[in-house]
Structure 1
Amino acid sequence: MLTAARLGASALSAALLAGVAAGPALADSPPPTPAAAPDGLYGKSDPTYDGVWRQSLALTALSAAKVTPADSAVGWLTGQQCEDGGWPSYRAAGTACDPKTEDSNATALAIQALVALGGQQPAVDKGVAWLKANQNADGSWAYNPGSPGDANSTGLAVNALFAARTDPASVAKAGPGGAGKNAFDGLARFQLGCSAPADQRGAFAYQPDPATGALAPNALAGGQAALAAAGGHLPVANSVRADAEPKPLACADGSAPTTVPHAEAGEAVGAYLAAQLTSGGNHLTLTTPGAAPSPDYTATAWATLSLIQSGHPDQATDAADWLDAQEATWTKNGTDAAATATLLLVAQADHRPTADLTGKLTALGPAPKATAPAADEATPAKKKNDGIGQYWLIGIGLLVGIGGGLLLSLQRKRNPNL
């Protein structure tokens, strides 16, 4: 069951929109006593619901920033893994693993972090095996195994497969009737196709309506599933540039299939997200029943990463600018490890200055073993100027050489004895 404290790692808003009754479940039992952040963990807030999530984001972002984290930070994450390969949201030291508490979101993020760090292949392999074992027959993943799948969890699992160099098309749960649907099939069941209104095509829903099976666009589902549809994972380091806007889903006539083909999925959701960002003031909006709409920082960040991954950085720039402007609010002045790490991942993907965010994130955890060279933002400009100076020197040298040769030639013509 999803809870409010797990906002950073799950789609509470999407679950509420899909009719998952999180509120009553919380009312039936007292909230757990807040846990103190253990040594090695990034951030000081209660890690009960997001410990593995925020640690994975932090380690992924710092690895991309060429920071070598402390052994205690890596050891804390690997120590959270259960023997069967899955990760819970958080497990207190000395507590035995409970398969019911393991979740696909934490597992998928942990796999991506360990791939980014390198040298953790056994843990990665066990994590991938856990994802394969807990895939639904329809190709999707649920937050907790045994439940209906959702777009967020499926997208994150596909991200992890890509990071681990495992083809999602080859991952299908075997059952009594043979192999089920593959991971791409599972992702496709949440994407709105040609039967949807034109301005919703390409969007992702969190889950189908339990009564009607209808799909309704969801901001966070769209952002997180879009990175998977675009073939990406964290950290995003795609250098492909389309130099064009994302292509909306082609729906020429009524015979078009309602399921979006995998080859068109990334562009279709990219077109939808780009339109939503433009019309929404360069950010996506969190809408929950009984609450006023508010900016959704996490969904906006994932949408930005997805557009960059799919080769459309121009459509992501304004959203990245908006996130920069919201840094203090979103990251709680640099004290929220998950938000700070996510913003750093966006800055890295969009080739923005990263030293300040890297420093703030590093300060939230144990002292690293090694850090990147200081003043990394000055390096590109310095190299550019050095290159220009070198070209001037070469040019002047050529001119001097040519001039000297012409002068010697003239002198020889005037004096054949030279």
Structure 2
Amino acid sequence: MRHESSIKVLGTEVRRGTAVRGPARTVTATAALTVLLGLGSVPVALADGSPAPSASPSQAIPTGLYGSDDPAEDGVRRQSLTLLALSTAGEKPPAEAVRWLVDQQCDNGAWAAYRADPYAKCDATTPVDPGSTAVAVQALAWLGRHDTEIERAVDWLKDVQHEDGGWGDDAGGASDAGSTSAVIGALAAVGADPADQKRHGNSPYDLLGTLSVPCQEKGAGAFAQRPDKKGGLVPDAEATAAGVLGSLGKGYVVGAWMAGDKADGCRSDSGGREAVAHNGVRRLTEATAENGCLTSALSGSGGRPDHGATADAVVALAAAGATDATSKPLAWLKKNHGSWAAEAGPAAYARLILAAHATWTDPHDFGGTDLVEQLAATGPATDVDYFPTPDGNTSAGEEGQAEDDSGFGWSGKWLLARLGVFAAISLFVFFVWDRKRDRS
């Protein structure tokens, strides 16, 4: 005999007792209640007890992630930059966006560019990389209240440092300027001195020094991502912006607090990281002096403009105190960012917001564009009235998220409350159904 009944939960009718015919299986009322209560992380069960199939990562963008493009290559990086940018603009990132980033972390503390199944254990084949890990650390350090995740990540970064003092775009790859500078920013964000982080006597600053083009060579002051096959240094726009920021010991969030580098003359490499940073500032200043933008070859004219590198250059110049040198590239970005940012997505808007933050520019009116609104529109809704301080703590207005004396935050209490309601309704459904069955 087939029993069929229905109950209404929160105004939604849940039918029970539907017959199972072949592959067409029905979702249990408990699973339906899970969805109604917002417990999306609880696995949905089918009537026969097997898990319901989930959408393939290639078919749908994961909930909480910003952007609609395939996250395989840059999911963690674009999410981290987005969280940083929104926070600097006074927006409170939604909890699901932060949770997405946290869930991507492996047990050993590292992040990959993206993991389609964040609940699967990481193993030796998981492509974790220092660059993604470093930018995630910077984002979580700025947001605060993620000490455990940060500590594990920093320990992993220290463990995989190369003998030359740097890090590469994967744990075993050759050291490069971008990854090494990102790790420097991560160490600085957690209050560590990158100069003290050495392997075989080499610090990350030593590695960056080997990637700076010497004064006597063409492109003096620029950085290469890594030496070419012949050991030569090919100037690269993004590497130079990153190299300057790293040599200054700074992360992605900076402010032009003081007048500094005038970029006068190339200094000997024997001057240490300060000289290396100065020479990089000089090169960025020269490269943007004519048209305001960078190209991959670090030329001020000709070639295809590199919007992202130009935004990064503004941040680097501001970090060095070369405020006068930021005016041209900033003006160029205001005029030319539109189609590039719209096509490139969250990371592009985030880099522009960080450039605006570094130069005391209003990100809500960047050449007539509200960058914050455009970035927020690429992901879940944000909460306003969130004003982080430079050390990553938050000001008044966030009491609802603070932890109490028990160490269990309000978000955790809310989850427990939802689980309690879920359990109570599940028991109610069970007893109602059981009594109806007995009367049949």
Deviation for aligned residue 1:104: 1.3
Provide the identity percentage.
34
Letter in 2 for 1:149: S
Tell me if structure 2 keeps the 8 A contact 1:191–1:204: yes
Q: Hey, what's the Cα distance between the residues in 2 that align with 1:229 and 1:297?
A: 22
Q: 1:203 aligns with which of 222, 239, 243?
A: 222
Q: 1:187 aligns with which of 195, 208, 213?
A: 208
Residue 332 of structure 1 aligns with which residue?
A: 342
Residue 360 of structure 2 aligns with which residue?
A: 351
Q: 1:87 aligns with which of 111, 116, 135?
A: 111
Secondary structure of 2:201's partner? strand
Letter in 2 for 1:248: G
Deviation for aligned residue 1:273: 0.7
Q: Whose relative contact order is higher, 1 or 2, with alpha carbons under 8 Å and at least 6 apart?
A: 1
TM-score normalised to the size of structure 2?
0.69
Aligned length: 322
Q: Hey, what's the Cα distance between the residues in 2 that align with 1:207 and 1:260?
A: 21
Matches within 5 A, 1:47-126: 47-93=71-117, 94-99=119-124, 100-126=126-152
Tell me if structure 1 keeps the 8 A contact 2:256–2:323: no
Deviation for aligned residue 1:304: 0.9
Q: 1:154 aligns with which of 180, 185, 192?
A: 180
Deviation for aligned residue 1:245: 2.1
Residue 316 of structure 1 aligns with which residue?
A: 326
Residue 46 of structure 1 aligns with which residue?
A: 70
Deviation for aligned residue 1:105: 1.3
Letter in 2 for 1:275: E
Deviation for aligned residue 1:231: 2.4
Deviation for aligned residue 1:193: 2.0
Q: 1:87 to 1:221 in 2, by over 3 A?
A: same
* 2:181 corresponds to 1:164: no
Tell me if structure 2 keeps the 8 A contact 1:36–1:47: no
Tell me if structure 2 keeps the 8 A contact 1:140–1:154: yes
Give the gaps of 5 or more residues in structure 1: 1-31, 174-178, 252-256, 374-418
Deviation for aligned residue 1:96: 3.0
Residue 223 of structure 1 aligns with which residue?
A: 241
Q: 1:372 to 1:357 in 2, by over 3 A?
A: farther
Residue 361 of structure 1 aligns with which residue?
A: 375
Tell me if structure 1 keeps the 8 A contact 2:167–2:179: yes
Deviations 1:308-356, CA, capped at 9 Å, x for gaps: 00001110111011111122111116x7111011111111111112221
Q: 2:254 aligns with which of 236, 256, 261?
A: 236
* 2:162 corresponds to 1:141: no
Tell me if structure 1 keeps the 8 A contact 2:79–2:101: yes
Q: Hey, what's the Cα distance between the residues in 2 that align with 1:98 and 1:278?
A: 48
TM-score normalised to the size of structure 1?
0.73
Deviation for aligned residue 1:65: 1.3
Q: Hey, what's the Cα distance between the residues in 2 that align with 1:286 and 1:237?
A: 25
Q: Hey, what's the Cα distance between the residues in 2 that align with 1:247 and 1:159?
A: 26
Deviation for aligned residue 1:249: 2.2
Q: Hey, what's the Cα distance between the residues in 1 that align with 2:357 and 2:192?
A: 24
Q: Hey, what's the Cα distance between the residues in 2 that align with 1:33 and 1:58?
A: 21
Q: Hey, what's the Cα distance between the residues in 1 that align with 2:59 and 2:252?
A: 28
Q: Hey, what's the Cα distance between the residues in 1 that align with 2:296 and 2:183?
A: 23
Q: Hey, what's the Cα distance between the residues in 1 that align with 2:88 and 2:279?
A: 28
Residue 286 of structure 1 aligns with which residue?
A: 296
| Greater share of helix | 1
Residue 282 of structure 2 aligns with which residue?
A: 271
Deviations 1:365-395, CA, capped at 9 Å, x for gaps: 211233459xxxxxxxxxxxxxxxxxxxxxx
